[in-house]
């Protein structure tokens, strides 16, 4: 037992553990317990149906794609906000947080209204043969929306602290603007880009409120996994099935995040301590 | 190649970083730009490297307009103060960078690049470190990688920004000698900026003393040290101290003694500043010679005795540097009195507007007999 | 000095092609922001007022909507203070002490960020529901959690758990324990140290965290959806009310949604104000 200099360790750690225990740990244990109780065959019976597999594929596929799009858009926006001074820059900066603060259900409603066949954007896309609302494209759009701030907000401080000496060094050594960006700046941002990517991904995989309105929840087509979990609870009182699916989502997201973490280690291999 | 800088001017708002600067650097020369922070030396460096642009003036390299060239194509090697090594690249990748980013056609083949990197790393004594990342190197090693990287593009002008500023004393001493040798063997025209007098005087062929965007003096280290041209150079380089003195009817009065000036053409209304170097304040044996002083403290550093003296008639104590032999011969203890003599006084005559009009070295004799001084040297300041 | 000159040099002297490139990038970024973020926000208000002000006011003054507003405020009023205390306690424990399992605790605090809200609700049902681990015990004592206010609070606490702690931990880590230790050597008690030294130093970051926590608490949908049973006028929070209205009365749904959007705009405005006035007290890096 180490000796603590400052008082309050028992109280603060105790309260922290109590809240974590009742709100996070106990429920988590219950979920995993219920899922494992099923056994492999029972588990597969719940997960292996065509409907569930289609939903899982959509959930993970669309959120991976959405996180990639978020990373690209986030890099652009963070770059512009940090590097350039222009009118309404502060307003633009404030706007980035909108998806953080906007209730997901409201976001879902708004996106649906915009992209429905009679919406402002939807009606203009329709003649081009592009349908967004009630298609997989809509699911993707909602996921891009909710994940967007994560990349911008993780990148901004790193971009701000990026040493201008490095760019100037590359400049005096003869590098073109493109070479300076691709060979110097981008590799240095890569670890942070991966962090933002992981956060956007985690958010998109679990997203419910903003997706279900615009997806239309069409069987085999636009059902996402969280929607199926709710369906199993609501209409079928199938808690075991819901728990099995929840566990799959939880574990799959965890594995994805671990994979990103490994990638991140590789991207930071140069920052070794002697 | 020779560089000619004329009437270079750079201003940031109200702050004048470079004030009509003129400087010529000869082919293969090793020049130090010495000045306190804010003197404009970094601005000069950045303009030469192409990272900043002057408001007026020209820089020519063998008759070619250097300022018209983009930093990318200027062929000027710059070693940054904090090295600016690319942290995500190995030592070899850092050194090869300048060759790899060349456009197609000018880019050497991979094998040639590799050979060149090998050669450079050998030159900076880092052969075994090609695969390391900068985070795995010591400060001195990083310095040398930065140097090799700048040399890789075969620059016609090499610039070093406070090259030893971020290193500890031991490494600094070794690296100074090593860099001097390297310059001798390469013969690249080199300009380095520093705020450290010892560094500039020890390393450079020629020293440029800068203050507030202006050049105060240009000269060899010996010239600069022995004959500082301006009060600033005198204080900054020779660590001179100011004595109170005044000029009256062609007679210089310092601390109660006076010497007639046998010199014409000096405006008697000019204010004068009298400077004395620490090593020119020497102890004397006879009680009736020189000025009486009280010893305040003594420190023994690097074979010298650095003493603080309170000279009668002066408010501020004076620092003096004596040899250990002098110190032992006079055997004075802290708090006791000793007579000292000023071997050389430097007198600067300044107009009311701060413009320097003349300077002269005075060599007062041991006794108080009148001396002939001069000639005054007019300065172009 | 060098930094200043560098900044000015980079800013003023740009070639025309560089200026064009920068213009294109700025325009692209603004398009992304407008297209992805501003348009949806405008769409909400446009739809809400489509049928006129009278209709809007009526929709907003429906008894069920009023009840939903009241419930949302109640849930936030319980969950946010709980998380405020949690954030302070967790940050105090995490930054002033070394103990085994500290890294694990840090990971657990962050966990709710990477759990789907729906899964969170599901987990609560498995513990506190009728057939859950504690279901029988709770029922025998006459306590109802799921499909009632406690479950709404629990679900909200779960999804907003990291907000306050995540703001405080980096800041307090950067500030170190020195001032607290100084207060200790001067004879201050634990609570005195907390209220007189620690709290004043982190108050703006705390407010910032509470603000974000509150916005999320009032707007939470997925987790609350699963545990509420959405009984009209009883367990419907504002976002749930929006969802139900959407099925029946499109414009009324948007009217209610606009209230939440207004809350969002307000939150962002206060957040900006905080960053602008007290930015140096918010970030560890500055």
First to last CA, chain C: 19
User: Is the pLDDT reported for residue C91 higher than 50?
Assistant: yes
Could you tell me where the DSSP H helices lie in C97-229? 102-110, 117-128, 135-140, 149-175, 178-185, 190-193, 199-219, 222-228
Structural domain includes residue C2: no
> How is A108-141 classified by DSSP, letter by letter?
HHHHHHHHSTTSTTHHHHGGGT---TTSHHHHHH
d(CA C199, CA C68): 34
The answer to whether B77 faces chain A, any CB pair under 8 Å, is yes
pLDDT tens digits, A53-96: 999 999 999 999 999 999 999 999 999 999 999 988 989 999 99
How sure is the predictor about C103, in pLDDT bands with cuts at 50, 70 and 90?
confident
* Nearest chain C Cα distance for residue A6, angstroms: 7
Picking from A8, A78, A227, A249 by the largest number of C CB atoms within 10 A of its own CB, the best residue to mutate is A8
User: Is the pLDDT reported for residue A186 higher than 50?
Assistant: yes
Nearest Cα to A112, choosing from A226, A228, A221, A215?
A215
* Nearest chain B Cα distance for residue C17, angstroms: 14
Q: What is the ipTM of this complex?
A: 0.89
Structural domain includes residue A107: yes
**Together in a domain, A29 and A106:** no
Picking from B72, B85, B134, B165 by the largest number of A CB atoms within 10 A of its own CB, the best residue to mutate is B72
For residue C19, the model assigns a pLDDT of 82
Over range B319-328, report the average pLDDT: 85
**Together in a domain, C28 and C137:** no
**Together in a domain, C256 and C174:** yes
Structural domain includes residue A272: no
The answer to whether A41 faces chain C, any CB pair under 8 Å, is no
- Which of B17, B37, B53 has its CB closest to that of C13? B53
User: Is the pLDDT reported for residue B381 higher than 70?
Assistant: no
- Which of A168, A173, A273 has its CB closest to that of B97? A173
* Nearest chain C Cα distance for residue B225, angstroms: 28
Nearest Cα to A145, choosing from A119, A120, A112?
A112
* Nearest chain A Cα distance for residue B130, angstroms: 14
Which helix (H) or strand (E) segment holds residue A98: the answer is helix A98-101
> What is the share, in percent, of chain A residues with pLDDT greater than 90?
53
Residues of chain A neighbouring B150 (CB-CB closer than 8 A): 172-173
pLDDT tens digits, C180-224: 888 888 888 888 989 988 899 898 889 989 999 999 999 999 999
Residue partners of C185: CB distance under 8 A and separation at least 6: none
Task: Determine whether the interchain pair C1/B52 forms a contact, defined as Cβ–Cβ distance below 8 Å.
Answer: no
The mean pLDDT of chain B is 84
For chain B, which residues make up each domain, given as ranges? 3-235, 240-378
Nearest Cα to A246, choosing from B215, C126, B286?
C126
**Together in a domain, A185 and A151:** yes
The answer to whether B39 faces chain C, any CB pair under 8 Å, is no
Q: Are the beta carbons of C42 and B84 closer than 8 angstroms?
A: no
Over range B59-75, report the average pLDDT: 89
**Together in a domain, A104 and A204:** yes
Residue A246 belongs to domain spanning: 49-267
Q: Which residue has the tokens 């222009």?
A: A86
Nearest Cα to B293, choosing from B304, B282, B279?
B282
Q: Among B42-46, B71-75, B191-195, which is the least confidently predicted range?
A: B71-75
Burial class (CB in 10 A: 0-12, 13-18, 19+), C2: middle
d(CA B267, CA B43): 37
**Together in a domain, C167 and C259:** yes
Q: Which residues of C touch B (CB under 8 A)?
A: 1-2, 4-6, 8-9, 13
Whether omega before C106 lies within 30 degrees of 0, making that bond cis, reads no
For residue B5, the model assigns a pLDDT of 93
Over range B304-332, report the average pLDDT: 85
Structural domain includes residue A2: no
* Nearest chain A Cα distance for residue B234, angstroms: 34
Over range A266-273, report the average pLDDT: 78
Picking from C3, C4, C5 by the largest number of B CB atoms within 10 A of its own CB, the best residue to mutate is C5
**Together in a domain, C257 and C139:** yes
* Strand B271-276, strand B241-243: pairing: antiparallel
d(CA A142, CA A107): 8
Q: Which residue of C has its CA nearest to B81?
A: C2
> What is the share, in percent, of chain B residues with pLDDT greater than 70?
88
**CATH number for the domain including A204?**
1.10.3720.10
Structural domain includes residue C150: yes
User: Is the pLDDT reported for residue C115 higher than 60?
Assistant: yes
The mean pLDDT of chain A is 90
**Together in a domain, A259 and A173:** yes
d(CA A61, CA C7): 43
d(CA C244, CA B293): 97
**Together in a domain, A23 and A109:** no
Structural domain includes residue C7: no
First to last CA, chain A: 31
How sure is the predictor about B1, in pLDDT bands with cuts at 50, 70 and 90?
confident
Tokens of B319: 């620092």
The answer to whether B37 faces chain C, any CB pair under 8 Å, is yes
pLDDT tens digits, B161-181: 988 877 877 888 888 888 888
How sure is the predictor about B369, in pLDDT bands with cuts at 50, 70 and 90?
very low
d(CA A186, CA C195): 45
For residue B356, the model assigns a pLDDT of 63
Structural domain includes residue A78: yes
Q: Are the beta carbons of C223 and C117 closer than 8 angstroms?
A: yes
Structural domain includes residue C206: yes
pLDDT tens digits, C228-270: 877 666 788 899 989 988 888 888 899 999 999 999 999 989 9
- What length is written for chain A? 274
The answer to whether A185 faces chain C, any CB pair under 8 Å, is no
For residue C117, the model assigns a pLDDT of 92
Task: Determine whether the interchain pair C97/A99 forms a contact, defined as Cβ–Cβ distance below 8 Å.
Answer: no
**Together in a domain, C98 and C199:** yes
- Which of C93, C108, C261 has its CB closest to that of A13? C93
Nearest Cα to A78, choosing from A176, A161, A179?
A161
User: Is the pLDDT reported for residue B23 higher than 70?
Assistant: yes
Task: Determine whether the interchain pair B80/A183 forms a contact, defined as Cβ–Cβ distance below 8 Å.
Answer: no
Residues of chain C neighbouring B12 (CB-CB closer than 8 A): 4-5, 8
Domains: count for chain A: 2
Nearest Cα to A211, choosing from A73, A112, A88, A68?
A112
Over range B219-248, report the average pLDDT: 85
The region, left, alpha or beta by phi > 0 then psi within -120 to 50, assigned to residue C16 is alpha
d(CA A237, CA A155): 43
Angle between helices A136-161 and A186-206 (to 10 degrees): 140
User: Is the pLDDT reported for residue B148 higher than 50?
Assistant: yes
CATH topology of domain B3-235: Rossmann fold (3.40.50)
- Which of B87, B89, B101 has its CB closest to that of A179? B101
CA–CA distance from B292 to each of A254, B254, B255, B298, C71 (Å)? 84, 14, 11, 17, 92
Angle at A185 between CA B165 and CA B40, to 5 degrees: 35
**Together in a domain, A156 and A23:** no
**CATH architecture classification, B240-378:** Beta Barrel (2.40)
For residue C285, the model assigns a pLDDT of 42
Which strands form B30-34's sheet, in the order they lie side by side?
B76-79, B157-161, B189-194, B30-34, B206-211, B214-219
Q: What is the pTM of this model?
A: 0.84
- Which of B12, B37, B38 has its CB closest to that of C8? B12
**Together in a domain, C144 and C172:** yes
**Together in a domain, A19 and A55:** no
For residue B367, the model assigns a pLDDT of 45
Structural domain includes residue A43: no
**Together in a domain, A30 and A67:** no
pLDDT tens digits, C19-58: 888 899 999 999 999 999 999 999 999 989 988 898 999 8
**Together in a domain, A191 and A67:** yes
Nearest Cα to C119, choosing from B321, B91, A245, A15?
A245
Structural domain includes residue A108: yes
Tokens of A38: 């099923």
Task: Determine whether the interchain pair B43/C5 forms a contact, defined as Cβ–Cβ distance below 8 Å.
Answer: yes
Structural domain includes residue A273: no
Residues of chain B neighbouring C4 (CB-CB closer than 8 A): 12
**Together in a domain, C35 and C60:** no
**Together in a domain, C161 and C260:** yes
Assign 3-class secondary structure to chain B. Answer: CCEEEEEEEEEECCEEEEEEEEEEECCCCEEEEECCCCCCHHHHHHHHHCCCCCCEEEEEECCEEHHHCCHHHCCEEEECCCCCCCCCCCHHHHHHHHHHCCCCCCCCCHHHHHHHHHHHHHHCCCHHHCCCCHHHCCHHHHHHHHHHHHHHCCCCEEEEECCCCCCCHHHHHHHHHHHHHHHHHHCCEEEEEECCHHHHHHHCCEEEEEECCEEEEEECHHHHHHCCCCHHHHHHHHCCEEECEEEECCEEEECCEEEECCCCCCCCCCEEEEEECHHHEEECCCCCCCEEEEEEEEEEECCEEEEEEEECCCCCCEEEEEEHHHHHHHCCCCCCEEEEEECCEEEEEECCCCCEEEEEEECCCCCCCCCCCCCCEECCC
Burial class (CB in 10 A: 0-12, 13-18, 19+), B242: middle
pLDDT tens digits, B244-297: 888 777 777 887 777 776 665 566 667 778 888 888 888 877 666 677 888 898
Residue C26 belongs to domain spanning: 13-48
**Together in a domain, C202 and C271:** yes
Residue partners of C66: CB distance under 8 A and separation at least 6: none
Q: Which residue of A has its CA nearest to C7?
A: A164
How sure is the predictor about B235, in pLDDT bands with cuts at 50, 70 and 90?
confident
Residues 190-229 in A contacting C (C-alpha not used; CB under 8 Å): 199, 202-203, 205-209, 213, 226, 229
> What is the share, in percent, of chain A residues with pLDDT greater than 70?
98
For residue B364, the model assigns a pLDDT of 64
**Together in a domain, C231 and C93:** yes
Structural domain includes residue A93: yes
**CATH number for the domain including C178?**
1.10.3720.10
**Together in a domain, C89 and C222:** yes
Structural domain includes residue C215: yes
**B: neighbours with 3+ CB pairs under 8 Å?**
A, C
**C: neighbours with 3+ CB pairs under 8 Å?**
A, B
**Together in a domain, A202 and A259:** yes
Higher pLDDT, C278 or B134: B134
Task: Determine whether the interchain pair A166/B71 forms a contact, defined as Cβ–Cβ distance below 8 Å.
Answer: no
Residues of chain A neighbouring C268 (CB-CB closer than 8 A): 94-95, 97-98, 101
Residues of chain C neighbouring A17 (CB-CB closer than 8 A): 105
d(CA B110, CA A52): 53
The answer to whether B36 faces chain C, any CB pair under 8 Å, is no
Note whether B3-235 and B240-378 share their fold: no
**Together in a domain, C231 and C163:** yes
Task: Determine whether the interchain pair A250/C115 forms a contact, defined as Cβ–Cβ distance below 8 Å.
Answer: yes
Q: Are the beta carbons of A99 and A107 closer than 8 angstroms?
A: yes
Q: Which residue of C has its CA nearest to B41?
A: C2
The answer to whether A258 faces chain C, any CB pair under 8 Å, is no
Q: Which residue has the tokens 């289609």?
A: A54
For residue B374, the model assigns a pLDDT of 44
User: Is the pLDDT reported for residue C274 higher than 90?
Assistant: no
């Amino acid at each position: 037992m180490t000796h603590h200099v400052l008082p309050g360790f028992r109280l603060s750690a105790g309260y922290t553990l109590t809240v974590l225990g009742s709100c996070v740990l106990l429920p988590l244990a219950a979920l995993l317990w219920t899922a494992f109780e099923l056994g492999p065959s029972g588990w597969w019976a719940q997960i292996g149906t065509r409907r569930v597999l289609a939903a899982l594929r959509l959930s993970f596929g669309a959120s991976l794609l959405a996180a990639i799009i978020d990373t690209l858009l986030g890099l652009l926006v963070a770059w512009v906000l940090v590097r350039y001074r222009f009118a309404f820059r502060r307003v633009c900066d404030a706007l980035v947080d909108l998806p953080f603060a906007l209730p997901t259900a409201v976001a879902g409603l708004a996106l649906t209204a915009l992209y429905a066949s009679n919406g402002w954007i939807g009606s203009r896309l329709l003649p081009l043969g592009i349908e967004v609302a009630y298609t997989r494209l809509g699911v993707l759009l909602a996921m891009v929306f909710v994940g967007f701030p994560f990349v911008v907000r993780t990148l901004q401080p790193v971009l701000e602290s990026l040493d201008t000496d490095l760019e100037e060094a590359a400049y005096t050594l003869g590098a073109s603007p493109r070479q300076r960006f691709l060979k110097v700046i981008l590799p240095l941002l890569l670890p942070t880009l991966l962090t933002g990517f992981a956060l956007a991904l985690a958010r998109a995989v679990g997203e419910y409120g903003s997706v279900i309105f615009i997806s239309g929840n069409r069987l085999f087509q636009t059902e996402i996994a969280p929607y199926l979990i709710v369906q199993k609870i609501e209409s079928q009182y199938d808690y075991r099935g819901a728990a099995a699916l929840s566990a799959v989502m939880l574990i799959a997201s965890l594995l994805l995040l671990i994979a990103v973490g490994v990638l991140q280690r590789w991207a930071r291999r140069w920052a070794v301590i002697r | 190649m020779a560089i000619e800088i004329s009437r270079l001017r750079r201003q940031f708002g109200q702050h004048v970083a470079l004030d009509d600067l003129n400087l010529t650097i000869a082919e293969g020369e090793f020049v130090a730009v010495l000045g306190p922070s804010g003197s404009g030396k970094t601005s000069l460096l950045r303009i030469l490297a192409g990272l900043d642009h002057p408001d007026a003036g020209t820089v020519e390299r063998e008759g070619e307009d250097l300022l018209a060239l983009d930093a990318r194509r200027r062929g000027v090697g710059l070693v940054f103060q904090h090295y600016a090594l690319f942290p995500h690249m190995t030592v070899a990748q850092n050194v090869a960078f300048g060759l790899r980013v060349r456009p197609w056609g000018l880019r050497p083949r991979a094998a040639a690049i590799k050979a060149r990197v090998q050669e450079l790393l050998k030159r900076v004594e880092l052969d075994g470190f090609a695969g390391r990342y900068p985070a795995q190197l010591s400060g001195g090693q990083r310095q040398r990688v930065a140097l090799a990287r700048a040399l890789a593009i075969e620059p016609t002008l090499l610039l070093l920004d406070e090259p030893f500023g971020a290193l500890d004393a031991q490494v600094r001493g070794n690296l100074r000698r090593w860099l001097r040798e390297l310059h001798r063997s390469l013969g690249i025209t080199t300009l380095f900026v520093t705020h450290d007098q010892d560094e500039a005087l020890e390393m450079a062929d020629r020293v440029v003393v800068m203050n507030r965007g202006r050049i105060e003096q240009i000269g060899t280290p010996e010239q600069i040290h022995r004959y500082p041209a301006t009060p600033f150079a005198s204080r900054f380089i020779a660590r001179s101290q100011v004595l109170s003195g005044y000029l009256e009817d062609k007679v210089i009065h310092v601390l109660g003694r006076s010497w007639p000036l046998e010199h014409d053409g000096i405006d008697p209304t000019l204010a004068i500043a009298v400077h004395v170097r620490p090593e020119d304040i020497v102890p004397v044996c006879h009680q009736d010679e020189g000025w009486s002083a009280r010893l305040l403290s003594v420190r023994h550093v690097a074979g010298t005795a650095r003493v603080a003296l309170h000279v009668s008639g002066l408010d501020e104590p004076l620092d003096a540097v004596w040899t250990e032999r002098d110190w032992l011969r006079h055997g004075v203890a802290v708090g006791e009195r000793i007579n000292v003599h000023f071997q050389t006084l430097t007198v600067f005559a300044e107009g009311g507007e701060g413009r320097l009009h003349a300077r002269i070295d005075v060599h007062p004799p041991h006794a108080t007999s009148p001396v002939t001084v001069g000639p005054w040297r007019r300065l172009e300041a | 000095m060098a930094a200043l000159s560098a900044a000015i040099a980079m800013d003023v002297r740009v070639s025309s092609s560089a200026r064009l490139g920068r213009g294109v990038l700025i325009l692209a970024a603004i398009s992304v922001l407008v297209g992805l973020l501003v348009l949806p926000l405008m769409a909400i208000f446009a739809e809400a007022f489509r049928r006129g002000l009278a209709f809007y006011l009526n929709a907003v003054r429906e008894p069920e909507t009023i009840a939903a507003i009241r419930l949302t405020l109640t849930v936030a009023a319980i969950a946010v203070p709980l998380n405020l205390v949690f954030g302070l306690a967790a940050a105090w424990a995490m930054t002033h002490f070394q103990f085994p399992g500290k890294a694990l605790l840090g990971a657990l605090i962050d966990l709710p960020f990477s759990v789907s809200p729906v899964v969170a609700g599901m987990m609560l049902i498995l513990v506190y529901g009728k057939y859950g681990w504690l279901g029988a015990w709770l029922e025998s004592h006459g306590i109802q959690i799921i499909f009632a206010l406690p479950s709404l609070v629990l679900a909200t606490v779960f999804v907003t758990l990291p907000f306050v702690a995540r703001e405080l931990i980096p800041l307090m880590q950067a500030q170190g324990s020195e001032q607290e230790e100084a207060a200790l050597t001067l004879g201050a008690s634990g609570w005195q140290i907390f209220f007189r030294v620690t709290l004043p130093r982190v108050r703006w970051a705390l407010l910032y965290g509470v603000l974000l926590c509150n916005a999320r608490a009032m707007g939470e949908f997925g987790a609350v959806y699963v545990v509420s049973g959405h009984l009209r006028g009883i367990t419907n929070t504002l976002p749930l009310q929006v969802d139900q209205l959407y099925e029946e009365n499109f414009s009324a749904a948007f009217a209610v949604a606009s209230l939440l959007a207004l809350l969002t705009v307000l939150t962002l405005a206060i957040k900006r104000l905080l960053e602008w006035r007290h930015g140096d007290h918010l970030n560890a890096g500055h």
